[in-house]
Amino acid sequence: MTIHMDYPFSATVDSFADFADLWVESDDSEWVWSNVITTEDGHMAGADGSSDGLTGGFDRRIVKLLRASADVVVMGAATVRNEPLGVPRDMPIAIVSRSATPPAGAVERADGGLIVITTDTAESEISGHEVAHIPLFTGEFVIGALRERGYRRILCEGGADLVTLLLNANLIDRWYQTVSPADSLEDSVVCPVPESGAPLLQAHDDEGYTYGAVQIRDAHLVSLYAE
């Protein structure tokens, strides 16, 4: 399968390694990136009810590529509960949970370390992980809890509620999005997306997947999709 660069130049990239060199340009600065996969009309779940139903093309390789650049992955509890196999084994993961109780499978899978971010009043019923208490569920407090623990490069992998928190707080520096040609699940969640930003890269492959990267710090939250 071939990758075709569409922006900022037109070219055919013969290997994923060459694509990777273009796609992720990370220095040692602090950042928050978000990576999502959606259908063409913005839904975050395929016909099977999960993002796995959308995955294809080079999406899984891009996930690994972005994770390799990050210090920690942060996900919402509902996303982890619906897709426990999405929890990375080889790096720290933070789960934002109102109940303070992550799915047992996530605790077992998170060999790289697990932090549960929850409110001051919530108590976890499962041991074997760190708990970070925050006063309110806001983007500032979520990211602040990770910064306090030394995490400088933070990758958000959804779901929609967590992405919305971070977008509303203007905390996402770079937005990565794979658009899948797969059919969406009717009435599934529509992804919040930034209103504007500076396009960095855009590409597509022979299977109908498109890949985009946009610098969005200081963008405003808005959905570009009809609901």
Q: 38 lies in which domain range?
A: 3-222
Q: Which residues lie below 8 Å from residue 25, measured CB to CB, with a gap of 6+?
A: none
Is 0.85 topped by the overall pTM? yes
Total count of domains within the chain? 1
| Torsion sign across C-alpha atoms 160, 158, 128, 118 | negative
Report yes or no on 32 lying in a domain: yes
Give the CATH number of the domain where residue 190 resides: 3.40.430.10
Structure tokens, 32: 């928050």
Residue 213 C-beta-side C-alpha neighbours within 13 Å: 20
- Do you know the residue count of the chain? 227
Report yes or no on 12 lying in a domain: yes
Q: pLDDT by residue (tens digit) across 159-183?
A: 899 999 999 899 999 999 999 999 8
Report yes or no on 227 lying in a domain: no
Residue 177 C-beta-side C-alpha neighbours within 13 Å: 20
Find residue 201's DSSP bridge partners. 213
Block means of pLDDT (10 residues each) for the chain, 227 residues, are 92 89 80 94 83 89 94 93 87 91 80 90 72 93 97 94 92 94 83 84 95 79 43
| Torsion sign across C-alpha atoms 74, 188, 179, 59 | positive
Q: pLDDT by residue (tens digit) across 125-150?
A: 666 688 899 999 999 999 999 999 99
Q: Which residues lie below 8 Å from residue 206, measured CB to CB, with a gap of 6+?
A: 1, 2
